């Protein structure tokens, strides 16, 4: 089954197809066991996600959380009490004239000298939703869905249908 | 003059750190990978039919319950193993279930799951310390199986 057909089945499961296209995919899933299995898996996964919405936990009381936001807004709106003197501005400009080219050279050095140019992902940089991992299966009847939960630092590959026990 | 000296010192320092970063990345790529694997069975039954099954640790139980719908999770088997940079590791999780883990370039690992002798799924990704990778699927009678992989700190 090609990627386009998989996308069509997913759109059908999500109710995004027009009537004629939806009928065509419905007929296909009746006659094609692989398509039927994929549709069933997608429905199951959709129901799983719907029945378990992600929890958002804030490690502070409600009042404290909002007061921090208010303070942040107020401090951002308050004008700076001191303005830089002309001498300080001149010094900063001169320093920047050296610092900017140095930073560019340093950045180029890091880029060239790092043997592995692939970015090192951190927990924060990874997407909390479906992620692009390389998942393959040689079995036609097996479909996979990959999900990343950033709250739990957990990558889940749901495989179905597969008899492994 | 002072500014030029400062800039020279800054560039030298940045270059040194870049070299250090590069060598650390190489060293990290070449290290053994210590992993903990568990085969877990998820069910809505109150009690496991097999007495040999154990309840899973509470923290993992909590994490699984947050994502999956099953009420109870039992550990079929758990094991620690090491994957060297040059040789893949094979681990039998049950009579019919086996995983093979191999280190790849760029710090990635390739996880292969076999069921009844057949390759079922192959996954490639980087596993960060503290991250969990789960390969899971439906089992008969509305139950489910989970192969759970975690990184361990090397001894």
| Dist. CA B71–CA B45, nearest whole Å | 8
| Dist. CA B21–CA B40, nearest whole Å | 39
Task: Point out the residue among A114, A116, A135 whose CB comes nearest to the CB of B123.
Answer: A135
CA distances from A122 to A48, A74, B47 (A): 27, 32, 39
Strand (E) or helix (H) holding A5: helix A3-13
Task: Point out the residue among A149, A157, A161 whose CB comes nearest to the CB of B135.
Answer: A157
**pLDDT value at residue B92:** 93
Instruction: Render pLDDT for A18-48 as a digit per residue (tens, 0 to 9).
Output: 898 899 999 988 888 888 888 888 888 887 7
Question: What's B6's DSSP letter?
Answer: H
Q: Given pLDDT bands bounded at 50, 70 and 90, which one contains residue B2?
A: low
| Dist. CA A70–CA A151, nearest whole Å | 26
| Dist. CA B136–CA A30, nearest whole Å | 26
| Dist. CA A78–CA A83, nearest whole Å | 13
| Dist. CA B146–CA B46, nearest whole Å | 18
Report for A83-87, A133-137, B18-22: range of highest mean pLDDT: A133-137
Q: Does the complex come out with an ipTM higher than 0.85?
A: no
| Dist. CA B141–CA A79, nearest whole Å | 66
Q: Given pLDDT bands bounded at 50, 70 and 90, which one contains residue B75?
A: very high
The answer to whether A46 and A13 have CB atoms below 8 angstroms apart is yes
List chain A residues with CB under 8 Å of B132: 152-155
CB contact under 8 A, A136 and B121: yes
Task: Point out the residue among B63, B106, B126 whose CB comes nearest to the CB of A154.
Answer: B63
List chain B residues with CB under 8 Å of A164: 94, 96-97, 113-116, 120, 137, 145
| Dist. CA B96–CA A34, nearest whole Å | 23
Residue B93: other Cβ atoms inside 10 A: 23
Tell whether A136 is within 8 A of chain B (Cβ): yes
Instruction: Render pLDDT for A86-142 as a digit per residue (tens, 0 to 9).
Output: 677 777 777 888 888 878 887 876 766 654 444 444 444 344 444 446 677 777 777
3-class secondary-structure state, position A72: helix
3-class secondary-structure state, position B50: coil
Backbone phi, psi, residue A61, to 5°: -70, 160
Least Cα separation, residue B120 to chain A (angstroms): 6
The answer to whether A124 and A153 have CB atoms below 8 angstroms apart is no
List chain B residues with CB under 8 Å of A120: 25, 107
The answer to whether B113 and B137 have CB atoms below 8 angstroms apart is no
**pLDDT value at residue B128:** 83
Q: Given pLDDT bands bounded at 50, 70 and 90, which one contains residue A59?
A: low
Instruction: Render pLDDT for B92-137 as a digit per residue (tens, 0 to 9).
Output: 998 889 999 999 888 889 999 998 888 888 988 888 888 899 999 9
3-class secondary-structure state, position B71: coil
**Burial of A123 (C-beta count, 10 Å sphere; 0-12/13-18/19+):** exposed
Residue A37: other Cβ atoms inside 10 A: 18
């Amino acid at each position: 089954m090609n990627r386009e057909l998989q996308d069509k089945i997913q759109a059908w499961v999500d109710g995004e197809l027009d009537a004629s296209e939806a009928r065509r995919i419905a007929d296909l899933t009746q006659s094609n066991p692989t398509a039927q299995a994929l549709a069933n898996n997608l429905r199951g996964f959709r129901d799983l996600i719907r029945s378990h919405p992600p929890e958002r936990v804030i490690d502070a009381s409600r009042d404290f959380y909002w007061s921090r936001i208010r303070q942040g807004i107020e401090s951002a709106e308050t004008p700076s009490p001191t303005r830089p003197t002309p001498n300080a501005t001149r010094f900063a400009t001169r320093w920047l004239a050296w610092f900017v080219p140095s930073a560019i050279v340093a950045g180029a050095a890091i880029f060239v000298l790092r043997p592995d140019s692939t970015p090192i992902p951190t927990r924060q940089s990874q997407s909390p939703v479906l992620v692009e991992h390389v998942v393959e299966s040689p079995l036609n009847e097996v479909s996979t869905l990959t999900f990343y939960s950033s709250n739990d630092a957990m990558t889940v590959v749901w495989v179905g249908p597969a008899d492994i026990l | 003059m002072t500014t030029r000296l400062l800039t020279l010192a800054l560039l030298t320092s940045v270059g040194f750190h870049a070299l250090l970063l590069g060598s650390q990345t190489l060293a990290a790529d070449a290290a053994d990978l210590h992993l903990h694997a568990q085969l877990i069975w998820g069910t809505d039954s109150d009690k496991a039919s097999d007495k040999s099954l154990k309840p899973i640790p509470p923290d993992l139980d909590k994490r699984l319950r947050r994502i999956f719908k099953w009420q109870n999770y039992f550990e079929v088997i758990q094991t620690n193993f090491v994957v060297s940079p040059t040789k893949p590791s094979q681990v039998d999780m049950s009579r019919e279930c086996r995983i093979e883990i191999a280190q790849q370039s760029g710090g990635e690992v390739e996880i292969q799951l076999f069921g009844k002798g057949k390759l079922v799924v192959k996954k490639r990704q980087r596993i960060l310390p503290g991250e969990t990778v789960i390969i899971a699927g439906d089992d008969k009678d509305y139950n489910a199986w989970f192969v759970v992989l975690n990184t361990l700190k090397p001894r």
